[in-house]
Amino acid sequence: MTAWEPMLHALVTERYPRLLARARMLTVSKAEAEDLVQEAIVATFAKPRRFASLAQAEQYVRRAIVTHSMDASRKAVLERERWDRAPVTTASGDLAAGVASSVDAVAALRGLPPRVRACVALRYLEDLSIAETARQLDLTEGAVKRYVSDGLAVLNARLGTEASAGDSDHAVVDIRKGAVK
Amino acid sequence: MNGLGELFDDAEGRATRDAGDARLPADEFGVVHTKVRKAHARRSALRASLVAVAVVVLGAGVVYGATWFGGTQVADLPSLSATPSETPSPSPNPTETGLAWPGFTGSLTVDPHLPSASAITRDVWASVEPGWSLISYREAWVAGDRGELGPLVVYLVSPEGDRYELVNVPGETVSVLAWEAGSATAAVSVQPEGDPSYAGVLNLVTGEVTPVDGYAPYIWSVAFLDSEGSPVWTGNDGTSAYVAIAPDGTQAEYSIPAAEGAAEIAIDELGLPGVDCAVAAPYDDESSLVHCVTADWAEGLEVDPADIHFAVVRVWPADARAELLYGVTGDEGRVSNPTRAGDYTVGSTGGAPNECSTQYSVLANGNATAVPGVGSNLHPLGDILLPLGSVGSVLTWGVTSGCTDGVATPIVVVNSDLASDEYAVLVPYPEGRPAGEEPNESVTGVAVGR
């Protein structure tokens, strides 16, 4: 057995539900989420990385899920239409009363263009800094800033929140403490 | 707290509960396992095939890389910048090569939300050559709860920073993207209020924009500079990864030459545990720039600050050859966003490893030398550095803020001569604006004349 195999087996055995949950935040259907998780696992383990812990491997895959959700969206010609429809079919009726729910949040997140969605997800779900988000997505820091700003404008409008681009930037502290979700 | 974070946390908690004890079916796990195994097998085969070549051609680059990462720098190394490119030639005699006068109005817009400038004259226009820039400028600020916009003016700017108004463009915000020195038109993107952006060609005499098909990037979207010094843009959704835009507005997908296998070679040659590399920019037709970061540092686990965590490597895939241009330890900060500028490689450096860059540097021989003008307090909050174009040894770059705290501020544009250590400010930070009207945006686009 090679070095990567025990970690792969442990990851799939112990962390699969959490990975699937992350993917469901970004995809319309469960089937798409399952495909996305598998794609992210393959992409992560296909490279010659050495993981110090299961938590580290999981974090890598969680971020890869976000990155690959962006790539997958590029490939799907009709996907934009599905994104646009998704919020309408899943948002709660509470928004009419000005109360956003987590269901609305997911629907709104799914409705963002792929790059914008990926940037917002990494900033708000992974608490990555702009610099780290840029590296993860192979974008410039300026582009990330702009995508996050655009995404938050849409989310705030749809959810009634007041998030600003500077609200999620505590990843530096967490990372330096060695904290891994 | 703004509530969005809680909504997402709640949503992911709900999704996790819904996932329950979901398991990857055994047959699908088998598919995943097989794909990973095949990927490693291909890597092993590639490595084996490269060994024979590498023994002969790796030479100084690999020896240098290994030695540098071992903590000892070698003194006599092949220098990337030992022979700086020639500086741009002096301005041609206008009487010999002067440009035809396109019929500019020669007017000058005076407004507290514009930088100082002069009206364009025939003599000035006649002396335009590659290295002069077009800069579109419009200040934006917030008054109470309302967004305000100043006038939009497109300036012709000399390499030394002399600004001349070409045209005042009323209405929608325009960003210049590409321009051929001396031409009376330029490729632009247009950002209408409330409507999608679109690409176009701006008439520099009349201010009219003719829409064209294609991607409409903003100044933030420069990915890197190509071998000619022109910006290559990060593509938008549904397009290629990179897009090149010509002065006439035509667009083409851009692929980095010599990228195939480059990241793999960099990983192998650096030999660091957990290193993760990706092709970042072109170098020339035979080699590319690869950016590497160690997984340990990226994940923030137990790391030794003395270890190298960030590196920029030049890789020749056909020769399986790699040369470390710059590598930094956890104590030294970071390096990112490398690009070529003439005969030089530059990148964002400095700052804490997981924070934002504070410097813009020439990277060569394991050293980072500050780009002229960096550290001169050109911008009060500058932490984002943008390559905007280059001609000869002169790099045009911008500095703004937002990496650290997300606060948008105006962009300061600078010309730095990497060969002479001189610099000129093309557009300064807007000082002295009316109280309550301090802008958060200014420069909307820069096109260095080719």
Query: Worst-scoring range by mean pLDDT, B133-142, B243-252, B267-276, B350-359?
Result: B350-359
In terms of domains, do A122 and A167 share one? yes
Rounded mean pLDDT, B49-70:
34
Residues A95 and A155 in one domain: yes
Domain boundary among the residues A40, A75, A110 is at A75
Range of the domain at B225: 94-255+371-448
Residue B140 has pLDDT above 50, yes or no: yes
Domains of chain B: total: 1
A124 and A100 in one domain?
Answer: yes
Q: Between A74, A163, A176, which is nearest B2 by CB?
A: A163
Q: Are residues A60 and A86 in the same domain?
A: no
Residue B246 lies in a domain: yes
Q: pLDDT per residue over A106-135, tens digit each?
A: 888 888 888 888 999 998 888 888 888 887
B436 falls within a domain: yes
The torsion region of residue B214 among left (phi > 0), alpha (psi -120 to 50) and beta comes to left
* Domain count for chain A: 2
Question: Is residue B61 assigned to a domain?
Answer: no
Inter-chain CB proximity B8 and A179 less than 8 Å: no
Contact criterion met (CB below 8 Å) for B308 and A64:
no
Residues B24-28: what's their mean pLDDT? 79
Contact list in A for residue B11 (CB cut-off 8 A) is: 25, 102-103, 105-106, 109
Q: What is the pTM of this model?
A: 0.60
Mean pLDDT of B360-368: 92
Residue B233 falls inside a structural domain = yes
> Which two tokens mark A86?
């998704």
Judgement on whether residues A91 and A179 belong to the same structural domain of the protein? yes
pLDDT of residue A86: 37
Out of A75, A109, A138, pick the residue that ends a domain: A75
Q: Has residue B180 been placed in a domain?
A: yes
In the predicted model, is pLDDT for residue B74 greater than 70?
no
Confidence of residue A136 (pLDDT cuts 50, 70, 90): confident
The DSSP element (H or E) to which A125 belongs, if any, is none
Same domain, A135 and A115: yes
Q: HEC states along chain B?
A: CCCHHHHHHHHHHHHHHHHCCCCCCHHHHHHHHHHHHHHHHHHHHHHHHHHHHHHHHCHHHHHHHHHHHCCCCCCCCCCCCCCCCCCCCCCCCHHHHCCCCCCCCCCCCCCCCCCCCEECCHHHHHCCCECEEEEEEEEEEEECCEEEECCCEEEEECCCCCEEEEEECCCCEEEEEECCCCCCEEEEEEECCCCCCEEEEEECCCCCEEEECCCCCCHHHEEEECCCCCEEEECCCCCCCEEEECCCCCEEECCCCCCCCHHHHHHHHHCCCCEEEEEEEECCCCCEEEEEEEHHHHHCCCCCCCCEEEEEEEEEHHHCEEEEEEEEECCCCCEEEEEEECCEEEEEECCCCCCCCCEEEEEECCEEEECCCCCCCCCCCCCEEEEEEEECCEEEEEEECCCCCCCCCCCEEEEEECCCCEEEEEECCCCCCCCCCCCCEEEEEEEECC
Q: Decide if B5 and A167 are in contact by the 8 Å CB cutoff.
A: yes
User: Which residues in chain A are closer than 8 Å to B388, comparing Cβ atoms?
Assistant: none
The reply to whether B425 falls in a domain is yes
In a domain, B323, yes or no: no
Same domain for A136 and A101: yes
In a domain, B167, yes or no: yes
Q: Do B298 and A135 touch (CB under 8 A)?
A: yes
Residue A140's domain spans which residues?
A: 78-181
Domain boundary among A25, A49, A75: A75
Q: Tell if the CB–CB gap between A16 and B299 is shorter than 8 Å.
A: no
Q: What is the pLDDT of residue B409?
A: 78
For residues A132 and A157, membership in a common domain is answered with yes
pLDDT digits (tens, 9 = 90+) for B141-163: 877 767 789 999 999 999 999 99
Structure confidence by residue, pLDDT tens digits, B419-446 = 998 999 999 999 999 988 989 889 999 9
Q: Tell whether A136 and A171 lie within a shared domain.
A: yes
Q: Do B4 and A109 lie within an 8 Å CB cutoff?
A: no
Residue B11: pLDDT band with limits 50, 70, 90: confident
